[in-house]
């Protein structure tokens, strides 16, 4: 008999992942906590995703299909729309949950203050050669969007590691379909502005590094710019953060061939923090030509960056 009121709705969007989606589904079915439904949103797959999903006979699985590909935000929003649970969890079609993930999170929700809207965990990052790294998610503090390293506090939290109260989406909304990247980050920022987070410092998710939206370099400057515009009122007083974002946007645009617009952002970074030597060097590099800029940008260490740059000037 199907439970019409499951406590947890697991939303699993997928697109052309017939070769690996079974692993993700099975890891949810193998949870020690069993009061859930799985809403699989097929985002217009052209492979055999539907046939793979139909092999699962568990009646808690609900299959929803988009007739055309709409993107990760739209797929997850569809899942939220159909969800019946009091809590929402997200699983990616190429990842795995460890068996006790939901059990530990649900037990934690029973003991944390009511202000907590999100419980998340650490992860195990699995590389292509199956090398395993421990992914330490950040421990965030309510009331501040930024951390001391000049990044959004929630940057580094995997959406597949979260369990969120359903009521949160009524207040902050769903995923913003404008974002080509940092879709999860945008939602987590909105959640942090309204709810407390609780960090379980255990790796309860296997995050497999595969090709996807996060590998789209063209999406980087678009998403960074959207984030800055959307939350500018919250971060504008922190000139260091704003300058860093301008610089990152500018560099990404230039590396992707949009040199004129990218140069304008490097100018913005320098004007915001004119005494920062790094932004001055990046600005000068922007006027040295695209080939030189790309060459310099490949060198990550700041000291080497400066040496190569000044050697380039001397040769001129």
pLDDT digits 0-9 by tens, 44-97: 999 999 999 999 999 999 999 999 999 999 999 999 999 999 999 999 999 999
The answer to whether residue 178 scores a pLDDT higher than 80 is: yes
Q: Map residue 162 onto helix, strand or coil.
A: coil
| Domain membership flag for residue 224 | no
| Domain membership flag for residue 86 | yes
* Stretch among 31-45, 70-84, 89-103, 243-257 having the lowest mean pLDDT: 243-257
Mean pLDDT within 1-16: 89
The answer to whether residue 220 scores a pLDDT higher than 50 is: yes
Instruction: Answer with the one of 182, 214, 246 that is the final residue of a domain.
Output: 214
Mean pLDDT within 30-48: 97
Which pLDDT score is estimated for 304? 37
Q: What percent of the chain has pLDDT over 90?
A: 77
Residue 206 shares a structural domain with residue 246: no
Number of domains in the chain: 2
Which pLDDT score is estimated for 273? 95
| Domain membership flag for residue 228 | no
28 pLDDT band, cuts 50/70/90, is: very high
Residue 245 shares a structural domain with residue 173: no
The answer to whether residue 16 scores a pLDDT higher than 50 is: yes
* Stretch among 1-5, 147-151, 201-205 having the lowest mean pLDDT: 1-5
Instruction: Answer with the one of 181, 214, 247 that is the final residue of a domain.
Output: 214
| Domain membership flag for residue 233 | no
pTM, two decimals, is 0.89
Mean pLDDT within 96-124: 98
Strands (E), 128-208: 132-135, 163-165, 196-208
Stronger pLDDT, 216 or 296, i.e. the higher one: 296
Mean pLDDT within 263-287: 90
Residue 111 shares a structural domain with residue 13: yes
| Domain membership flag for residue 43 | yes
The answer to whether residue 298 scores a pLDDT higher than 80 is: no
| Domain membership flag for residue 220 | no
Instruction: Answer with the one of 153, 181, 214 that is the final residue of a domain.
Output: 214
Which pLDDT score is estimated for 296? 66
Which pLDDT score is estimated for 278? 85
Which pLDDT score is estimated for 212? 54
Q: What percent of the chain has pLDDT over 70?
A: 89
Mean pLDDT within 263-291: 88
Nearest one of 87, 62, 115, 93 to 8, comparing CA atoms:
87
Rounded CA-CA distance 149/170 in Å is: 31
Residue 175 shares a structural domain with residue 253: no
Residue 104 shares a structural domain with residue 244: no
Residue 157 shares a structural domain with residue 243: no
* CB 61 within 8 Å of CB 25: yes
Residue 188 shares a structural domain with residue 293: no
The answer to whether residue 312 scores a pLDDT higher than 80 is: no
Residue 206 shares a structural domain with residue 249: no
Residue 190 shares a structural domain with residue 250: no
Residue 205 shares a structural domain with residue 121: yes
Rounded CA-CA distance 167/171 in Å is: 7
| Domain membership flag for residue 48 | yes
Q: Which token pair is 245?
A: 């974002």
Neighbour tally for 46: CB within 10 Å: 9
Q: What does pLDDT average to over the chain?
A: 90
| Domain membership flag for residue 310 | yes
Residue 114 shares a structural domain with residue 252: no
CATH number at residue 157: 3.90.550.10
Domain extent at residue 270: 238-315
The answer to whether residue 300 scores a pLDDT higher than 50 is: no
Residue 161 shares a structural domain with residue 258: no
Q: How far does the chain reach from its first CA to its final CA, in angstroms?
A: 78
């Amino acid at each position: 008999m199907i439970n019409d009121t499951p406590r947890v709705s697991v939303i699993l969007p997928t697109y052309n992942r017939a070769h690996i989606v079974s692993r993700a589904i099975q890891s949810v079915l193998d949870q020690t906590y069993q009061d859930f439904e799985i809403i699989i949103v097929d985002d217009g797959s052209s492979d055999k995703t539907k046939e793979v999903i139909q092999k699962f006979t568990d009646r808690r699985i609900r299959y929803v299909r988009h007739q055309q590909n709409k993107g990760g935000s739209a797929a997850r929003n569809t899942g939220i729309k159909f969800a019946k649970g009091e809590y929402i969890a997200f699983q990616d079609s190429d990842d795995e949950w460890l068996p006790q993930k939901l059990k530990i999170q649900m037990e934690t929700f029973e003991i944390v203050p009511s202000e907590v809207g999100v419980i998340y965990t650490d992860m195990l990052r699995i590389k292509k050669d199956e090398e395993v790294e421990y992914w330490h998610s950040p421990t965030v503090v309510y009331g501040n969007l930024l951390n001391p390293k000049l990044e959004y506090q929630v940057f580094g939290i995997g959406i597949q590691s979260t369990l969120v109260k359903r009521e949160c989406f009524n207040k902050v909304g769903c995923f913003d379909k404008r974002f080509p990247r940092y879709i999860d980050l945008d939602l987590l920022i909105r959640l942090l502005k309204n709810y407390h987070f609780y960090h379980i410092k255990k790796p309860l998710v296997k995050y497999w590094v595969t090709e996807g939206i996060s590998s789209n370099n063209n999406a980087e400057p678009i998403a960074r710019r959207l984030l800055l515009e959307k939350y500018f009122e919250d971060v504008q007083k922190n000139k260091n953060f704003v300058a860093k974002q301008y610089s990152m946007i500018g560099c990404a645009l230039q590396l992707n061939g949009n040199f004129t617009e990218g140069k304008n952002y490097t100018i913005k970074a320098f004007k915001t923090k004119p005494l920062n030597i790094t932004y001055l060097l990046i600005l000068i590099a922007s006027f040295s030509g695209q080939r030189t800029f790309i060459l310099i940008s490949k060198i990550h260490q700041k000291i080497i960056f400066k040496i190569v740059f000044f050697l380039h000037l001397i040769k001129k």
